[in-house]
Amino acid sequence: MFKAVLIERDTQSYRAGIQSVDEAQLPAGDVSVRVDYSTLNYKDALAITGKGPVVRQFPMVPGIDFAGTVQTSGNSAFKSGDRVLLNGWGVGESHWGGLAQLARVKAEWLIPLPAAFTARQAMAIGTAGYTAMLCVMALERHGITPGSGEILVTGAAGGVGSVAIAVLSKLGFRVAAMTGRSVQAEFLKQLGAADVIDRTQFAAPGKPLAKERWAGAIDVVGSHTLVNVCASMRYGGVVAACGLAGGMDFPGTVAPFILRGVTLAGIDSVMRPRADRVEAWRRLTEDLDIKKLELLTEEIALSQVPERAALFLQGQIRGRIVVDTNR
């Protein structure tokens, strides 16, 4: 038996809570992992609260990522005792995920835990930080350098935003942090933001083209915010879009793309090829200051996850939440 957050649904209710689960109930997979740490992400919060159509089948153990130690393996790529991590691949949605003490998954979904990180540090980074690194790599791939100009990060106090700021500032970029929580301004500056901007000026419908300011941007919001970010990009600017916290719609025009040569780069972290995952995690070992990681990390027990999920959707969570699955 092992402890897990279990989501169940019937005709009467949708509920999530801590339960003892028999190992025989684990889904098919060729590697079993003793989970040391997981995380609580926006998608997990949607799944646990039922506020978004995240879960594909029931019952479901949420948790889109985890880090731990291989317990048993039927695949030659891994052996008992190997330290591994997982991000995405539909775990916590269509396959039981990481908010549990034990997981069984496909070997191809796992990558070795970088030696530079402990399991806790890897989950302090988690899918949010790994996605932030993919966004930074996309900006670089399209030719954006520290000399290109200022970079805007939306949803800056959240998981993706906070790690993106820390990475970009270490790489030498000047970063502007957009947030709706002015009380987090000092925190964002500690992470490396040179400027903090109120999100309200981007949240409402704006002009097809605004004053040019940003050389690059990382957006987790979508909707009007993403449209306004694109409209205020400098000529040849690049926007890496990875989230939809403000909505899935894109109520804009093609003006920034055909008049200023702006590039909108979509960032998927769930089904990303293995080579990209390994490279993103390698870059994180070089380009993320571990001391800043501690600034943006809060650790909670597995038993606290359902309550914290509700707070997450109320915008009351800052940075990253690491979950110790053994308490």
Give the global pTM.
0.93
Q: Tell me how far apart the alpha carbons of residues 124 and 113 are, in angstroms, rounded to a whole number.
A: 13
Residues 156 and 105 in one domain: no
Residues facing 297 on adjacent strands: 320
Instruction: Give the CATH number of the domain where residue 33 resides.
Output: 3.90.180.10
Taking residue 76's Cβ as centre, other Cβ atoms within 10 Å add up to 8
Residues facing 2 on adjacent strands: 21
Q: What percent of the chain has pLDDT over 90?
A: 89
Total domains present in the chain? 2
Residues 156 and 196 in one domain: yes
The H-or-E segment that residue 305 falls in is: helix 305-313
Length of the chain: 327
Residues 155 and 247 in one domain: yes
Q: Tell me how far apart the alpha carbons of residues 307 and 64 are, in angstroms, rounded to a whole number.
A: 18
Q: Tell me how far apart the alpha carbons of residues 108 and 98 are, in angstroms, rounded to a whole number.
A: 16
Residue 260 domain-assigned (yes or no): yes
- Mean pLDDT across the stretch 210-223? 97
Nearest to 59 by CA among 88, 19, 90, 106: 19
Residues 95 and 200 in one domain: no
Q: Tell me how far apart the alpha carbons of residues 214 and 179 are, in angstroms, rounded to a whole number.
A: 16
181 confidence band (pLDDT: 50, 70, 90):
confident
Residues 170 and 238 in one domain: yes
- Mean pLDDT across the stretch 40-60? 93
Mean pLDDT taken over the chain: 95
Instruction: Give the CATH number of the domain where residue 253 resides.
Output: 3.40.50.720
Q: Tell me how far apart the alpha carbons of residues 260 and 256 are, in angstroms, rounded to a whole number.
A: 5
Nearest to 195 by CA among 230, 156, 158: 156
Residues 34 and 57 in one domain: yes
Tell me: pLDDT of 96 over 90: yes
- Give the residue with greater pLDDT, 294 vs 92: 92
Residues 108 and 134 in one domain: no
Tell me: pLDDT of 315 over 80: no
Nearest to 181 by CA among 202, 160, 163, 196: 196
Name the residue type at position 97: G
The number of angstroms, rounded, from the C-alpha of 201 to the middle of its chain's C-alpha atoms is 25
Domain residues for 22? Answer: 2-113+296-324
- Mean pLDDT across the stretch 5-22? 94
